[in-house]
Amino acid sequence: MAAPLCVEVEFGGGAELLFDGVKKHQVTLSGQEGPWDIRNLLVWIKKNLLKERPELFIQGDSVRPGILVLINDSDWELLGELDYQLQDQDSILFISTLHGG
Amino acid sequence: MCQASEDYAEPVREDPPPVPRPGREQKCVKCAEGLPVVVIRAGDAFCRDCFKAFYVHKFRAMLGKNRLIFPGEKVLLAWSGGLSSSSMVWQVLEGLSQDSAKRLRFVPGIIYVDEGAACGQSPEDRAKTLAEVKLVLQSTGLPWHVVTLEEVFGLSPSVLRCAAQEPAGTEEAYKAAVDSFLQKQHVLEAEGSSSVAQGSEQLCSPPSQDPPGMAGSPTATQTEALSRLFNSVKTLTAKEELLQTLRTHLILHVARTHGYCKVMTGESCTRLAIKLMTNLALGRGAFLAWDTGFSDERHGDVVLVRPMRDHTLKEVAFYNRLFAVPSVFTPAIDTKAPEKASIHRLMEAFILKLQTQFPSTVSTVYRTSEKLVKAPREGCADGPRCLLCMCVLDIDAVDSATAFGAQTSSHLSQMLPVEAGLPTPSCCGAGEGQAQRCCRAVCGKEDMQAFVQEQLCYGCRVNMKDLSSLDPLPPYILAEAQLRTQRYWYLLFQEYLIQDSDEEEETGQS
């Protein structure tokens, strides 16, 4: 049973185009039975925040290759990637590296 | 990956063995004390300070290893607003502000090309982006140039001519140049701090606008002409290639006008790996060494340099985030395009997807590109160059074995009967104007298209096929094509003239 959480979700590098151009989102995740990890967060983002073209952001279970994920300014690879358990006031940043040069 | 026993009807998904992942408990692999924040390559966790040192060192090492940029040279930084080029500009700025032993010794300027018209941006969006761009440019303190892509309609055909190539500096020449530069610096410092202040003021001169000759903002007709050009291209692949070609010509023109002899572009390791594979698919395999190498000297007097080619996109994105490097997001021609929209997108998706499962993909392709050698074909070292990409042509005009060779030679044989009906040599020998008139009589519209095709390399020919007609192209391309054709016929006539006069002399003497 996961308690409700408040996290900040940010998009950069062009990924914000898929979210109406809004870069920072304060997100309140309601309590639920399963844990709140990145995997579930992605599902939540797809359902509630993503405005268009989900295939440009999410591929299968995870983010599309080329999109970096930083949790509290640290590489998500150090924290378990999709299995990282979210904590209150965490800051999750998705940077698209595919755009521009 | 491909096994003989693989059943294609029902693919069995076998996940590769998971790459061992470093955890948070690990310490930085370099200093063994800091808390790691980023994972580079496959499993090397770096702390913030070690990452910064690693990143900066790679940039300086890339410049130092290839001793191409001499002290005091003017270098133009091509900035697109994106992550990699912003990082490159930032590295140059930091390099300029270090103490004299480690300071970067060249004189930079920045150029930004506004491609909004080609991407279908509205004038309001373009103005907004431009305002953000100018803010960033002004904060750098370097001389900057903002040009719009519409200015290609005002270029002269001379931009397509390869200027005389300066001999590459030798190792001794480089060392001598560095020594003399350092000596001059010592003298300046000895003379007093006022001179040094003067020197540094010169470097941070107030940002300069383009000279009054270049239009500040494009006219509506030019914007419309550019939109018409890009709308007439049938495929996204050809559009991206055309955009790149026009952008290169424009940057070349600005570099030549303002005396820059080097241009730095911010292509990262990942981008170059994708570019290498894409160019193979586009038919530009002969020019991979120039398209993806550190230096590209095909234009002669202006050399393109790629100092970011050792940095992966992940490293660039992390660095920019951790150290607050400003960048401006501008939508490009392939924004939000689906995966199979163009060869570029397809190859990008392929490489990046492969990279997630096999983390050495990008570096392997990159290492392969380092081994490519720029060797001219036998007997063609100084041959004709492609009209658009300015590489030495990779097609034999008279090689009937290849499909293109057959096409070219059959066309030329069609032209010969027409040539017999041309006016007497005296008309063409009278000067360029006369030659132009009778050549125009010879060249109909379809012939012009064929003549342009013959002056292109294989890759550019394939792209040109996706253009419905040559009319929307900027005038300098067609003008240069026509000039080259005239030169070809003129030389041909010259041969006949010399032969005739030799015969007359012989008959006269006998």
Q: Which of A79, A99, A101 sits opposite B24 (nearest CB)?
A: A79
Alpha helices per DSSP H over B359-431: 361-370, 403-420, 425-429
Q: Which of A56, A78, A97 sits opposite B83 (nearest CB)?
A: A97
Contact across the interface for A74 and B356, Cβ inside 8 Å:
no
> How many whole angstroms separate alpha carbon B51 and alpha carbon B43?
14
Residues in CB range of B491: below 8 A, 6 or more apart? none
pTM, entire model:
0.82
CATH architecture of the domain covering B69-370: 3-Layer(aba) Sandwich (3.40)
Q: What are the domain boundaries of chain B?
A: 25-66, 69-370
Cβ atoms of residues B345 and B239 within 8 Å: no
Contact across the interface for B22 and A78, Cβ inside 8 Å:
yes
> How many whole angstroms separate alpha carbon B427 and alpha carbon B432?
10
- How many residues belong to chain A? 101
> How many whole angstroms separate alpha carbon B400 and alpha carbon B407?
8
CATH of B25-66, one of 3.30.40, 3.40.50, 3.40.190, 1.20.1300: 3.30.40
> How many whole angstroms separate alpha carbon B36 and alpha carbon B24?
7
* Closest-CA residue of chain A to B336: A56
- The distance of B115 to chain A (nearest Cα, Å) reads 12
From residue B376, alpha-carbon distances to B290, B350, B380, B386 in Å are 12, 31, 7, 14
Residues in CB range of B288: below 8 A, 6 or more apart? B276, B279, B280, B369, B372
Cβ atoms of residues B430 and B490 within 8 Å: no
From chain A, pick out residues whose CB is under 8 angstroms from the CB of B268. 101
| Residues of chain B falling short of pLDDT 70 | 1-25, 100, 164-170, 192-216, 376-382, 396-446, 499-510
Instruction: Look up the ipTM and state it.
Output: 0.92
Pick B265 or A34 by higher pLDDT.
B265
- The distance of B327 to chain A (nearest Cα, Å) reads 9
Amino acid identity of residue B420, one-letter, is A
**Nearest CA to B154 among B435, B476, B421?**
B476
Buried b (16+ CB within 10 A) or exposed e, A17-49: bbbeeeeebebebeeeeeebbbbbbbebbeeeb
- The reported pLDDT for the residue numbered B211 is 41
**In chain B, which among 82-111 make CB contacts under 8 A with chain A?**
82-85
- What is residue A5's three-state secondary structure? strand
Contact across the interface for B329 and A13, Cβ inside 8 Å:
yes
Cβ atoms of residues B478 and B256 within 8 Å: no
> How many whole angstroms separate alpha carbon B115 and alpha carbon B152?
11
- The distance of A40 to chain B (nearest Cα, Å) reads 21
| Chain A contact present for B21, CB below 8 A | yes
- The reported pLDDT for the residue numbered B186 is 77
Pick A35 or B128 by higher pLDDT.
B128
From residue B61, alpha-carbon distances to A14, B67, B228, B336, B459 in Å are 30, 10, 44, 36, 33
- The reported pLDDT for the residue numbered B425 is 40
* Closest-CA residue of chain B to A81: B21
- The reported pLDDT for the residue numbered B346 is 93
Please provide residue B464's backbone torsions phi and psi, each rounded to the nearest 5 degrees: -65, -25
Please provide residue A61's backbone torsions phi and psi, each rounded to the nearest 5 degrees: -85, -25
> Percent of chain A beyond pLDDT 90?
38
Going by pLDDT thresholds of 50, 70 and 90, the confidence category of residue A101 is: low
Strand partners, A37: A85
